[in-house]
Chains A and B, each alone.
Chain A
Amino acid sequence: MNVLLPLSAHMVHHRKLAQDVALFQLQLDDPFAIGPSGENHRPGQFVMLSVPGVGEAPFSICHAAHIDYLELCIRRTGSVTRRLFELGENTLVGLRGPFGNGFPMEKMVGKDVLLIAGGLGLAPLRSVLQYVLQHRESYGRLILVYGMGRQAEALFREDLEYWIDSTKLDVCLAVEHPAPKDLFPADTGHVGMVLERLELTADNTVAAICGPPVMYGPVAKILRSKRLYPENVFFSFERRMECGIGHCGHCAISCRSTCQDGPVFSAWEARSLGEPLEV
């Protein structure tokens, strides 16, 4: 089988989540194909999405395995993403994957799960969150810390409303620029400030983090001060990716391919790869 050959898929639906961010629902043309179907992935894995004639780019699957189509939450930035936003429903795209290791859900069993998302980083963490909710009894506390610039940028608003109301998890929003009409209760500032005041059980908490790279250093530092074990802190990394199977070389960080060995690395691993994280 040629792993570099995308499977044909169609865009079923897409809807705007915020300025320049939309949720895309995709379905493989061949329901029996071995490929990213919406059901067969681990939280934190990603797919390679192709737009014919434009190119291919990696996107995290943003839901846990439970639906028969694939959901991707995508920000418009460059050529592939710009084109995706122009495409109408029912247009042809290509899919490969799922790739990557994903977050280690087994390691979190029986532990408190702390999810720290910055901006678009909520996309992969939403899959972890949904997974924990699906298997609620296997996990301890579930805390979501979600940082954003303005509340208008908040993604997955219906989900957020539901999560905030739910007793199954704690949600803390950190908003840097509050506005009078803001819907959700939130702290003013960045995720670090929320983290600082959280009470965590140091030896029983696993953290999963995804967000802009600038967030990683400070978050790692705070978690260290809270005495989380570096092998219990997981970051999802972003690198240029083209093949998704560890061959093309673009995503290599030292001796690991982000696409195959990652994108999720523990704080300890990340540091041993030379990433400047303080853990």
Chain B
Amino acid sequence: METFTLYREHLGQFLDVCQEQFRVQIPVSAGDGRYRFSPLAGHGVEALALEYHRTLLPPKKYFLLPEETICTFDQKGYHPVEVAEEPFLLFGLHPCDLHGLRIIDQFFSTPYADSAYQSRRKNALIVGLGCLPDDKCFCATMNTQQIMGGYDLFFWDLGERFYIQVGSEAGHGLIHKAREMFHDVVDEDRQDYLETLYQRRHLLTPKVDVADLSQIMEANPDCAVWDELGAACFACGACTMVCPTCTCYDIFDRVELDGSGRRCRQWDSCLFRDFDRIAGEVHFRSDRSDRVKNRFFHKEVVHVKQHQRSACVGCGRCQEACPAGIDVVSVLSRVHASCA
């Protein structure tokens, strides 16, 4: 793999170079220890929060917009909308988010490609960033602490310099736009990189045992945990909004007074009451506990059946977002404990 180093003081310059070609998005502080991806243009390099652990919303917000227009309609028929072809660069995705992106990349390419998602995705350059966990991260539990590929560049913070892995031709091109800022990797850089990995590895230990989890869940669908969760959860959908791999959406028409309008889609959640409603007010999961359970089953059983991996990437967002304080790790461990 092609590797380089970049001195910290050149990062801003490098991002400026990137800005010439791309709308650069960086993690910035939102106050109160929270972060969000925002345009570099509106903030300046000083705002770049390299120390962030997780953003309020995952990078999916750039690809599957919270609300977007699918097509327009009028008396003449339905008309496509152009997705803005503005290239952009997402700087600073942690491995868990890169995993998340991979999962939804795949999801939105089968069985049909989602054209809006794909064209935004095609226009994006992704720069990863190495990280250290906080108390809510559980990537080591979900096995997403490491990522090989799925990025154009990946930055490891070695203190006064970054160790940079190039993951694609586009990433290579980016480096060569400002080649003079980058240095070839020497032995010492490699040593420091490995040292960083070593240190990080010791902070990243699995939080709970999830061995056989899918099998346990499937074998024990009536686990008492689901009823307890059904009582604690208010089905506000916060967890699904912030989840990097939740992709459900709702389609509806927004009409103007002249009868023309837009067909829109908006993030939806399997926790909402009308999610599965069909004509005649029939629901398939009318109990809140069924809905919560469905969410966990989808991540931990269904997705594993389909793709041999859990759809949870351990980013800790849902736990952070949940006003009711429901914490995935403890849910998983309690479910797991039913087979102890």
In the complex, which residues of chain B have a beta carbon less than 8 angstroms from the beta carbon of A250? 248, 268, 275-276
In the complex, which residues of chain A have a beta carbon less than 8 angstroms from the beta carbon of B259? 52-53
- Checking B249, B261, B277 against A53 with a beta-carbon cut-off of 8 angstroms, the contacting residue is B261
A240 touches B278 (CB 8 A): yes
A4 touches B298 (CB 8 A): no
Which A residue sits closest to B114, measured CB to CB?
A247
In the complex, which residues of chain B have a beta carbon less than 8 angstroms from the beta carbon of A110? none
Interface residues of chain A: helix, strand, loop or mixed (majority)? loop
In the complex, which residues of chain B have a beta carbon less than 8 angstroms from the beta carbon of A53? 73, 253, 255, 259, 261
A5 touches B276 (CB 8 A): no
> How many residue pairs at the A-B interface have CB separations less than 8 Å?
111
- Nearest chain B CB to A242 CB, angstrom units: 4
Q: How far is the CA of A4 from the CA of B306 in the complex (A)?
A: 24
In the complex, which residues of chain A have a beta carbon less than 8 angstroms from the beta carbon of B284? 239
In the complex, which residues of chain A have a beta carbon less than 8 angstroms from the beta carbon of B263? 4, 6, 50, 56
Size class of B's contact patch?
A: 35 or more
A6 touches B75 (CB 8 A): no
In the complex, which residues of chain B have a beta carbon less than 8 angstroms from the beta carbon of A242? 249-251
Given contacts A2-B116, A3-B112, contact A248 B248 (CB under 8 A): yes
A77 touches B280 (CB 8 A): yes
Q: How far is the CA of A98 from the CA of B280 in the complex (A)?
A: 25
Question: In chain A between 1 and 27, which residues have their CB closer than 8 angstroms to a CB of chain B?
Answer: 1-8
Q: Mark B229-270, 1 if CB is under 8 A from A, else 0.
A: 000000000000000000111111101000111010100101
User: Can you report 24 A-B residue pairs in the complex whose CB atoms are below 8 A from each other?
Assistant: A3-B115, A4-B70, A4-B115, A4-B263, A5-B71, A5-B80, A8-B76, A50-B263, A53-B73, A55-B252, A94-B73, A94-B77, A94-B78, A238-B278, A239-B284, A240-B276, A243-B249, A245-B111, A247-B107, A248-B268, A250-B248, A252-B298, A252-B302, A255-B301
The 8 closest A-B pairs by CB, nearest first: A8-B77, A249-B248, A255-B302, A77-B279, A53-B255, A2-B115, A242-B251, A52-B73
- Residue numbers of A with Cβ under 8 A of B are 1-8, 29, 50, 52-56, 77-78, 81, 92, 94, 238-240, 242-243, 245-250, 252, 254-255, 260, 274
Besides A5-B80, A53-B253, A78-B279, 14 more A-B contacts (Cβ < 8 Å) are: A2-B115, A3-B113, A4-B70, A4-B115, A50-B263, A52-B253, A53-B255, A238-B278, A239-B278, A243-B251, A247-B247, A248-B249, A248-B268, A250-B276
